[in-house]
Chains A and B, each alone.
Chain A
Amino acid sequence: MVVSKSDIIKFFDTIQSEYDIFVPYKTEREIDGLVFKKYDPEKEFVLDKYRTVDPVRTLFYMPSESVLPPSAKSNKRIIAGVKNCDLLGLAVLDDALLKDNFIEPNYKIWRDSSYIISCDCTDALPTCHCVLLDNNPYPNASKEGESLFDINLSPIKEKFVITVGSKKGEELLEKIKEVCLLTEATDNDKEICEANHAEVLKKVRDINSDFTPDRNYDVITENKEASVWKEFCNECVQCGACTNICPTCYCLILNDESTEEEFRKVRSWDSCQLVGYAEVAGGATPREHRWETFRNRYQCKHNFMKFNFDKLGCTGCGRCISACPAEIDLREVIQSLQEV
């Protein structure tokens, strides 16, 4: 199926009274930066290009939310222009927050009420490195079961090829059909899609040509005493930007705002990079040195989450590199460990 960009705009205009729509817009705050904002018919949005400055996680797991009682709203939402690195991030969060017997109440509400329209990347930022993690700058439809997206858009000139990835996607497609004129994708459309994929893949590979594909993350634990940690962490100011901007971080602290009449709990983001994170009453901490704190993020993303969820906690979005005031590059850290 193919839909024109003007029809997508028409679709958003028609349904904006029924759905809260979030789409990436250019921001003046940062050159080349895109940020998710509520749909504004007056402004031009950007569905393709590359990932946003903030991860899509921020629309599902807010910096601070009441969890008792849950504060999430169940208005239907459409979040469009989500990139593959963010879809993979949501997959980690789903495993962390929706599995076992413990369902994170807000995340569940936000997730259930949202439809995700992803889009292939057509460009890349200097920090993008999904290819080093065996991921692609465009989502792949799952061969069996549900995909990570509800609908994916593959841009071809002023049009998009639509791929439906889930039951929710089928529902949404019916809505789209009410407003938009859809045509069958021609062989030529499919060829253009494939050529676009190859082109953006090459672009991300070229950006990362200095790095060997990081496939063996056992080096992190094997070299946990290596001087690499101390060298790289010398510049780290423990600001926590890398974790706050990560699509898979979900560490939290809980504040009690109860009264004797009603129990209330508020959860806020925390960061393993901050001082005092794991310190218990009495002052003991399992990570006494700054380099151990620094190392923890790498272990968590590449070793612990792999063990916990059978998925890597790094999706290759490169946001932690862009956000770091000390310009510490995760790719260089891993590369150095591989060369120990």
Chain B
Amino acid sequence: MPDKNPYEVLKADVLEVIEESPTIKSFYLKPERPFEFVTGQFIELSLPGIGEAPFTPSSSHYETEKIWVTIMNAGFVTNEIHKAKKGDVMGIRGPYGKGYPLDKFKGKDVLLLGGGVGLAPLRCLLQTMIHDVKDYKSITVCFGARTPDDMIYKDQIDGWKSVDGVHHLCTVDKCSDADKWNGKTGVVTVLLDDITIEPKDAISVVCGPPIMMKFGTFSLLDKGFLPENIYLSMEKKMYCGFGQCRHCVIGKYYACKDGPVFTYEQIKDEEKIWD
């Protein structure tokens, strides 16, 4: 049998487009065949004739018929993707990389620390963990955004809060309009002051803009989380997704193949991990 072409693309129809924030949209995709992946793994999503970019799905990995991808308009390809409408065709290839090692999370307190569009992969992790919520000691979600308008998945917060074993906290960096937000204000790390879990044995997962990942990690370390228990979802430029284009190297590691999920312990000595 010939080897599978790693560049093979699965056609996917756009079922729905949801505007999450002024800069972020979610796309509900139906791949032509069920698409299996593990939470934390990523896909290359392409727009025919335009290009492709790497994204981590935002829906549970138990859902293989339809995939939800949340995308921020940040560059050339994402700007074009944002123009897509219901009924358009996209391409999916992957999944690539290593996902979150859920086996290591089981039986433990798990803290998800996310900022901005970094909530997208964390939603996938959260939805997947909620499916087996009894396997985890507790799940604490700390989500932050710049302003109330930038906070995505707002309509889902009540659903998450209603799950036994899930604690949800959120904050916005700033808000001048009290009608829009009556919650906490301050950068996402302020939420760590309110958590009650014992850090020494707990798992934390961080995803967000580089600056937030950096200070989020440092705050977790200060709180007493161990470097080997802090999981980071690294984002770098990626073309191939499987260790051949070399653009995504973080020192000697490939963000695509050895990651995108790394523990802080693994990469803390590599250069410029936050850039």
User: Measured between C-beta atoms, what is the minimum distance from B159 to chain A in Å?
Assistant: 31
Contacting residue for A285 out of B9, B46, B275, CB 8 A: B275
How far is it, in angstroms, between the C-alpha of A287 and the C-alpha of B53 when the chains are bound?
A: 21
15 extra A-B contacts, CB within 8 A, seeds A68-B5, A259-B49, A285-B275 = A68-B7, A97-B244, A103-B4, A251-B247, A253-B239, A254-B52, A254-B239, A256-B46, A256-B49, A265-B9, A280-B236, A280-B237, A281-B78, A282-B74, A304-B249
Cβ-defined contact, A70 with B5, below 8 A: yes
Contacts from A to B (Cβ < 8 Å): 67-70, 96-97, 100-105, 108, 224, 250-260, 263, 265, 267, 270, 272, 277-282, 284-288, 300, 303-304, 307-308
> Given A254-B52, A263-B91, are A102 and B6 neighbors across the interface (CB < 8 Å)?
yes
Cβ-defined contact, A286 with B257, below 8 A: no
Most B Cβ at <10 Å: residue of A67, A258, A270 = A258
Cβ-defined contact, B275 with A284, below 8 A: yes
User: Measured between C-beta atoms, what is the minimum distance from A7 to chain B in Å?
Assistant: 37
Q: What residues of A have a CB within 8 angstroms of the CB of B104 in the complex? A: none
Chain B residue nearest to A262 (CB atoms) is: B48
Q: What residues of B have a CB within 8 angstroms of the CB of A252 in the complex? A: 239-240, 244-246
Q: What residues of B have a CB within 8 angstroms of the CB of A108 in the complex? A: 3
Q: Mark B251-272, 1 if CB is under 8 A from A, else 0.
A: 1100001000000000000011
Report if B20 contacts A (CB, 8 A): no
List B1-52 residues whose CB lies under 8 Å from chain A.
3-9, 11, 46-52
Cβ-defined contact, A270 with B247, below 8 A: yes
Q: What residues of A have a CB within 8 angstroms of the CB of B249 in the complex? A: 300, 304
Chain A residue nearest to B250 (CB atoms) is: A286
Cβ-defined contact, A258 with B91, below 8 A: yes
List B196-247 residues whose CB lies under 8 Å from chain A.
210, 235-237, 239-240, 242-247
Q: What residues of B have a CB within 8 angstroms of the CB of A284 in the complex? A: 210, 275
User: Measured between C-beta atoms, what is the minimum distance from A298 to chain B in Å?
Assistant: 13
Q: What residues of B have a CB within 8 angstroms of the CB of A270 in the complex? A: 239, 245, 247
How far is it, in angstroms, between the C-alpha of A67 and the C-alpha of B48 when the chains are bound?
A: 15
Report if B153 contacts A (CB, 8 A): no
Report if B62 contacts A (CB, 8 A): no
Q: What residues of A have a CB within 8 angstroms of the CB of B130 in the complex? A: none
Most A Cβ at <10 Å: residue of B3, B74, B235 = B3
Contacting residue for A300 out of B6, B246, B250, B257, CB 8 A: B246
How far is it, in angstroms, between the C-alpha of A163 and the C-alpha of B263 when the chains are bound?
A: 49
